[in-house]
A and B are shown apart, each in its own frame.
Chain A
Amino acid sequence: MNSLRNRLKELKQFQEDAVIRIQTLGQFNLWLQNEKVDSKKWGRDKTVQLLQYLISNRQRHALHKEKIMDHLWEDGDDRDFKVALHGVNKVLEPERASRIEPVFVIRQGVSYQLDLEKVWIDVEALEQYIIIGNEAFGEDQAIAKQAYKAAIALYQGVYLPNRVFEDWSSEEREKIQILILGAYVILAEILLNENPLESIRLAQCAIAIDNTWEDAYRLQMQAYIKKGNRPQAIKAYQKCADVLDQEYGIDPLPATKNLLKEIESI
């Protein structure tokens, strides 16, 4: 468990120490040595898009230039790519001399990738926190709690909201949404006895992302009962049943119905 604790500590430290920090959740922002980069410094939108594309594909390693161009440009040529890449490097390393290789965007021949050891990105950190939380869950609830809380704190909204109609960003958006839904529900479950009010809030956050997430309604019902609020628990069930009927034309699961029966018999 010490190794998990250390990983958690290192992640938090990296967030504080990183020269470059990037926010992609809720809105897009970049900090260079703790100073927020003004949006005017990006120049063309394609420069921002190129960096966002590299972030979206950061775990694929060494992205081929042709592949990047094919996704970002309709009829782009080498020059368009070079201009955008130069723009990215200029923002990330404004003082770099032209003969020196960039350190944050690593180039290998005609392939490019972000150096995740040097660039802190909220989505990457969120995923790492959730991995730690999942590994600690059931073994060390204190670490699991800390990790899930850290992940949730990073979730400021949907991934790159101004790119929702771009297909190259969809995969990452979906992945993060599923990860955060899981984190909300698991943390709500961990806190059910200790802090039912917080469980209700967390479950509500999950429902706000996906209103058909039935586990979240069940947790709300349980948490309301812990607080002695039977009417709200029944209301949560009703909301769940209405949404499932509307979206899928189905009833809640037997587990949810049984929970309602238990509540009604109180």
Chain B
Amino acid sequence: MAKKVDQTASFMVRFNQIIFEEDGESKVQWRGKVSHVQGGEDESFTNFNDAVAFIQERLGDLTLEATKDESPEVQDSLLKKSFSLWKTMAKEGPKVIMETIKDPRKQVANIQDQISYFGEDLKDKVHIDQWRNASRSDFNTIKESISSLAEEIKKLNAKVDAISKPSKTTKTTRTTKKK
């Protein structure tokens, strides 16, 4: 079993909203940057799908690293489950967060049920109890940004399905920013 610290991937996502006039029309542009804290690498994006792919790639690496001593069959199976869990997260995340704002306890139970579906191995790696400690003010703070993101992610969800299965080649975890 890999150490807890090796089972954690944290991401910081920055969105910079730019509203401007062009050809007599008001336009809005989102410029974003997603950073992987433990690895130190980051990527700029204007399409949120690129950020999703960036996160997915690191999560795939994490699963591969944690299961490197397993047989190829077990590794493949866990990778598929991990990928499914992430797809569910990308699909349901914004909805769940909005529901959680309304009824935190009920939604924590719902998430726990969903995680159970993917088996004990993955359940152990998701420290869901930490979610219970979030205060209502924490939720209120993110409510506004989540509302605007929810619609965008809904559209991108279809594209997430199209993302191909992650490659099994091990990648260097600390890369430098692409230039």
Number of B residues with CB within 8 Å of any CB on chain A = 25
Cross-chain contact B10 with A254 (CB below 8 angstroms): no
Cross-chain contact A247 with B37 (CB below 8 angstroms): no
Question: In the complex, what residues of B have CB within 8 A of residue A67's CB?
Answer: 133
Cross-chain contact A253 with B18 (CB below 8 angstroms): yes
Among A13-21, A22-30, A147-155, A164-172, the one that faces the other chain is A164-172
Cross-chain contact B14 with A174 (CB below 8 angstroms): yes
Given contacts A70-B130, A165-B38, A174-B14, contact A248 B46 (CB under 8 A): yes
Nearest opposing residue in chain A for B46, CB measure:
A248
* Interface flags, A244-255, vs B, CB<8A=1, else 0: 001111100111
Question: In the complex, what residues of B have CB within 8 A of residue A170's CB?
Answer: 10, 12, 35, 37
Cross-chain contact A255 with B20 (CB below 8 angstroms): yes
Number of A residues with CB within 8 Å of any CB on chain B = 24
Cross-chain contact A164 with B44 (CB below 8 angstroms): no
Q: Is A139 an interface residue (CB 8 A)?
A: no
Q: How many angstroms from the CA of A60 to the CA of B12 in the assembled complex?
A: 19
Q: Is A74 an interface residue (CB 8 A)?
A: yes
Q: Is A212 an interface residue (CB 8 A)?
A: yes
Question: In the complex, what residues of A have CB within 8 A of residue B124's CB?
Answer: none
B131 vs chain A, min Cβ distance (A): 13
Q: Is B120 an interface residue (CB 8 A)?
A: no
Among B1-9, B104-112, B159-167, the one that faces the other chain is B1-9
Given contacts A74-B4, A167-B10, contact A253 B44 (CB under 8 A): no
Question: In the complex, what residues of A have CB within 8 A of residue B8's CB?
Answer: 167
Cross-chain contact A249 with B4 (CB below 8 angstroms): no
Nearest opposing residue in chain A for B36, CB measure:
A165
Cross-chain contact A167 with B38 (CB below 8 angstroms): yes
Q: Is B31 an interface residue (CB 8 A)?
A: yes
Q: Is B119 an interface residue (CB 8 A)?
A: no
Cross-chain contact A250 with B46 (CB below 8 angstroms): yes
Q: How many angstroms from the CA of A214 to the CA of B31 in the assembled complex?
A: 11
A-B residue pairs in contact (CB < 8 Å), sample of 10 = A74-B4, A165-B37, A166-B37, A167-B10, A247-B44, A248-B31, A248-B44, A248-B45, A250-B46, A255-B20
Please give 19 more A-B residue pairs, beta carbons under 8 A apart, in addition to A170-B10, A250-B46. A74-B3, A74-B4, A75-B4, A165-B39, A165-B40, A166-B37, A170-B35, A170-B37, A171-B12, A210-B33, A212-B31, A212-B33, A212-B44, A248-B31, A250-B31, A253-B18, A253-B20, A254-B21, A254-B22
Question: Could you tell me which A residues sit within 8 Å of B by CB distance?
Answer: 64, 67, 70, 74-75, 164-167, 170-171, 174, 178, 210, 212, 214, 246-250, 253-255
